Structures are given as C-alpha cells and as structure tokens.
Amino acid sequence: MSGTSSFSEAAHVALSNSQQRRNLRQATTSIRAKRDAAVGEVDQWEALREEGRRIKDRTMRHLDVHLERLEERVTAAGGHVHWARDGDEANAIVTRLVRDAGSDEVIKVKSMTTAEIGLNEALARAGIVAHETDLAELVIQLADDRPSHILVPAIHRNRAEIRTLFRRHLADTEELTDDPAALAEAARRHLRRLFLSVDVGVSGANFAIAQTGTICVVESEGNGRMCTTLPQTLITVMGIEKVLPTVADLDVMLRLLPRSSTGERMNPYTSLWTGVADDPPDGPRAFHLVLLDGGRTETLADEIGRQALHCIRCSACLNICPVYERTGGHAYGSPYPGPIGAILAPQLAGLRDHTSLPWASSLCGACYEVCPVKIDIPQVLVHLRGRVVRQAKQDGWRGRVAGERLAMETMARVFASRRRYEAAQRTARVTARAVTRDGLVRPQLPGPLGAWLSSRDLPAPAAQSFREWWRAQPDQSDPDGHGGAA
C-alpha cells in the first residue's frame, strides 16, 4: 500500500460495506462498555497509566542493555536467541528451525509480529503448513482473509459467515448452527487434533522480562497455553520493543492490559515460561527466541515517533476511534490497524510506503485518553504528517501534498495581510452568493475540494464582517484599537 490517497481509497470502499460497519459498531460498543466498567473500578487508574508510560519510556532509553540481558538469561535457561534485522531474516530463521526440528507443520499462537513479517506465507513457500489456533485467527485463515482488529481479528465477520466457513472447511460440521457454543466446539475438535499431533509451536510475545529471561503470552482461549507447552520445539518471534526490565514492571502491565483490552480484571490465560522445561516432556525441549528489529531501531531514533514502540497492543484506541469504526481495519493496509496502526505501520515499514496513514485520523484525541501507556497518538500523527511533507519537499512536491502546500501557502499570504484578507472576504461573499441555497454554500466543484465540501456544510459568508459593522456604527473607533472612526 503506497501513495497519499491509499487510505482514503480503501476507506471509501469500506464505507460502502454497511454489514461490516454494523458488525464493527456492535462489537466496539460492547468492548468499550466493558473496558469503561473495568477501568472505573481502579481508583488510581491515572497513576497506573503514568507508571506504565514511565516504564516504557525508561525501557526504550536503555533498550540495548535490556535486550542483551534478556539474551543472557534466556541462554542461561537453555534457550537460543536469534537476532533478525528484518522480516525476511526472521522468516528464514524460523523456516530453518522448523526444518531442523524435522517438521513440515507448526501450530501458532495469535501473533501480530508474525503477521507483520508474513511468516505464514514464507513458511508456505518452504512447504511448511502453519495452523492458526486462535479462534478468530482460524476464521481469518480459513477465509483466506486479513485480520482487521488487534484483539478480535475477525471482528468484521458475523456468526452466520463463520458457520458457513466452518461447514466448508472443518470435519463433521454438516449440522453446525451459528450458536456461539456450537461454533467454539467445532473449532475445539479441529484444534485438539492439531495440538496433539504437531511438534513445533510458534508464538509471539506480549512481554519478555530481561531480569529472568521469561516470556509472557496473554490470551483468552487457552490455545496459547497448548501451543507453548505441548510441542517439543517452541519458537517465539518477538519485536525488540516488547522487553521489560523486571518482573515488577510486568506486574504493572498485567494490571493495565486486560482492563484496556477485553475489559477484564485479569485475562483467563497468562502463560509464562523461561527457557526449556526442567522436566520434559512437560514443556518444550527446545526453545528459540527470535528478536526482530524490522524498523524498530530507526523508529527509536525519532524522539516523538518512538512512542509508538510503547504500545502493548490492547486495542483500546481502535475501539474508541470514530475513523476505525467506520472504515474497519483493512483500510489501513497493515496488520496494525486503527490509531496505533496509523503511527506504527508507517514507521516500521517506511513512511514512503504509508504516506496516507498519518491522515487516517480526526485528531479528536480519544485514543490518547484511553491508551493505558499514554501514547500521545495525535502528537505522533501530526509529527508524521510533518515528516511526509518534508519528504515530499525533498522529492520535488508531488501528489496530494503538493496541492495542500499550494493551498496553505495561498492562505498564509492572505492571512498575513489585512488588506488581502478583507479583499478575500469580499470576493468570497460575492462568489458564494450565486451558489448559496438555504444559507449553505453548495458549489459543484471537481476534485478534492468538491469531495471535501460534498460531506460538509459550509455556511454562507455573513453579509457584513464584524469590522464593517463596527465601522458603520456612529462614533466608533477602529476595532483593532488604532483609534479614529472609519
């Protein structure tokens, strides 16, 4: 996805999908209500958020130290650490590890990092089948679809669609109804066979603790626990920003994440493991941690943009965002949708490939209000818009940014001179008269200005400006206080 108009083009298509909009509104409204209730129970929620922000900020300042410590502890616990500069390297490492384990199948825990690097596709090219075990990820995989939400990847699909999908792909589902319990049972039967037969598990990580070398996966279904304990070999692919210095830091994050994410006090399954199991076969005999850079070091170098690396993937910003609710996740063209996607994807994948995403927001600030680690998403969006403009300047002003630049420069010239400003007011008044109906200006304009006006009400200019009115009053001085009646 590239080009300044990509998000708006994709959003335009999404907006015509009323079924998807209904599904999204229903789901996000209910998650939001649960989150509000769970957060409302915590007296010191704001202090906890501030603590979360401070931990992330402090960690990023010494990320190299914490990562080296993590490597040392994982290795000491019998694990192996692999460093990957980008997605291709990470995919090659995982492919090699699966082959070395003698398998041509893996079972996977839901993982945004592996979606970011396209691991399933890379494994498929190498002849290795990746089975998603999270219910929503399974739905996405069976439908050959893309996830559209961080927490609920299949949020855009309803029960009837899922039943149809399961009937088509899963065994013994001829009589399947769209009752949630029946759908879950069908998935459970399908997945259980895989848990018991596939020898390699692949996971992401919500957190990794440098102090102990412990990896943490937070989930709701228990499939993660199965994938991280039953296979002989476990491979975890983790972005380097997920490291936390100490166990005490994890305590803070585990109080912030479930409340902000699913609206629960504590999520049903929190799996923690350190290296290999002491007593095989109860746990993997081989553990590999793949640490992915993938644009994160470069993001870290940007003092404002680096806040995006603080994200703990709770999805609260998606559930509150009016833009996301209307467009859905696919419009963002990245595994990271919504407000966090608008600031993370352009930085990880390169601003040139996602120039439209910093504009995928109304800048209302709701995302900042709910973010458990206080990422100032509107600030980063505005900052990234500035970077896109500076980049366009370097490239010789092309595309939409060029038109905006011309409009802004013209406005700056008009606003810089009272004479020009008043002349513009008079011109606008005369010109608007011909296209004003019921007090609103309704011009039939082509291009972006016409599109902008087609969804907004532009009131007709007043018949008289304040200054004109003031000057017309008997014995009034200049409204700017320069003295002298007009």
Among 316, 360, 384, 401, binds ligand SF4 (CB under 6 A): 316
First to last CA, the chain: 57
**For residues 14 and 309, which CB has a smaller minimum distance to ligand SF4 in the complex?**
309
Among 373, 381, 392, 401, binds ligand SF4 (CB under 6 A): 373
Q: How many chain residues are in contact with ligand SF4, going by CB under 6 A?
A: 15
Residue 273's DSSP bridge partners are: 215
CA 236 to chain centre: 21
**For residues 370 and 441, which CB has a smaller minimum distance to ligand SF4 in the complex?**
370
In the complex, minimum distance from the CB of residue 140 to ligand SF4, in angstroms, rounded to a whole number: 19
Sheet of 105-108, strands arranged across: 80-84, 286-292, 233-239, 200-203, 105-108, 129-132
In the complex, minimum distance from the CB of residue 152 to ligand SF4, in angstroms, rounded to a whole number: 13
Among 372, 380, 381, 401, binds ligand SF4 (CB under 6 A): 372
Report if residue 315 touches ligand SF4, rule: CB under 6 A: yes
Among 291, 375, 388, 392, binds ligand SF4 (CB under 6 A): 375
In sequence order, which ranges of 126-158 are alpha helices (DSSP H)? 135-142
Which element (helix H / strand E) includes 313?
A: none
Name residue 285's amino acid.
R
Report if residue 152 touches ligand SF4, rule: CB under 6 A: no
Tell whether the torsion through CA atoms of 71, 72, 76 and 80 is positive or negative.
Answer: positive
Name residue 384's amino acid.
L
CA distance 404 to 408: 6
Which element (helix H / strand E) includes 309?
A: none
Q: Is 396 left (phi over 0), alpha (psi -120 to 50) or beta?
A: left
Among 97, 152, 238, 312, binds ligand SF4 (CB under 6 A): 312
**For residues 213 and 341, which CB has a smaller minimum distance to ligand SF4 in the complex?**
341
Burial of 191 (0-12, 13-18, 19+ CB in 10 A): buried
In the complex, minimum distance from the CB of residue 311 to ligand SF4, in angstroms, rounded to a whole number: 3
Among 39, 139, 244, 311, binds ligand SF4 (CB under 6 A): 311
**For residues 57 and 199, which CB has a smaller minimum distance to ligand SF4 in the complex?**
57
Give me the torsion for CA of 155, 156, 162, 166, rounded to 10°: -90
**For residues 108 and 259, which CB has a smaller minimum distance to ligand SF4 in the complex?**
259
In the complex, minimum distance from the CB of residue 283 to ligand SF4, in angstroms, rounded to a whole number: 30
Report if residue 314 touches ligand SF4, rule: CB under 6 A: yes
Written as six digits, the tokens of 193 are 């066979």
**For residues 66 and 313, which CB has a smaller minimum distance to ligand SF4 in the complex?**
313
| x/- map, 249-278, ligand SF4, by CB under 6 A | -----------x------------------
**For residues 233 and 361, which CB has a smaller minimum distance to ligand SF4 in the complex?**
361
In the complex, minimum distance from the CB of residue 404 to ligand SF4, in angstroms, rounded to a whole number: 27
* Cα–Cα separations (whole angstroms), residue 330 to 14, 26, 112, 302, 335: 8, 18, 14, 27, 8
Residue 207's DSSP bridge partners are: 216
In the complex, minimum distance from the CB of residue 371 to ligand SF4, in angstroms, rounded to a whole number: 3
**For residues 94 and 343, which CB has a smaller minimum distance to ligand SF4 in the complex?**
343
Among 340, 345, 380, 388, binds ligand SF4 (CB under 6 A): 340
**For residues 263 and 283, which CB has a smaller minimum distance to ligand SF4 in the complex?**
263
Report if residue 313 touches ligand SF4, rule: CB under 6 A: yes
In the complex, minimum distance from the CB of residue 313 to ligand SF4, in angstroms, rounded to a whole number: 5
In the complex, minimum distance from the CB of residue 316 to ligand SF4, in angstroms, rounded to a whole number: 4
Binding segment toward ligand SF4, per CB under 6 A, in 270-278, 311-319, 428-436, 470-478: 311-319
Largest CA distance in the chain: 96
Q: Which of 182, 264, 184, 180 shows the shortest CA–CA distance to 219?
A: 264
Sheet of 207-209, strands arranged across: 243-244, 207-209, 214-219, 269-274
CA distance 163 to 177: 7
| DSSP per residue, 29-89 | HHHHHHHHHHHHT-TTHHHHHHHHHHHHHHHHHTHHHHHHHHHHHHHHTT-EEEEESSHHH
Report if residue 381 touches ligand SF4, rule: CB under 6 A: no
Report if residue 371 touches ligand SF4, rule: CB under 6 A: yes
In the complex, minimum distance from the CB of residue 336 to ligand SF4, in angstroms, rounded to a whole number: 9
Binding segment toward ligand SF4, per CB under 6 A, in 43-51, 59-67, 178-186, 307-315: 307-315
Please give the residue ranges that form the binding site for ligand SF4 (CB under 6 A): 150, 260, 311-317, 340, 370-373, 375
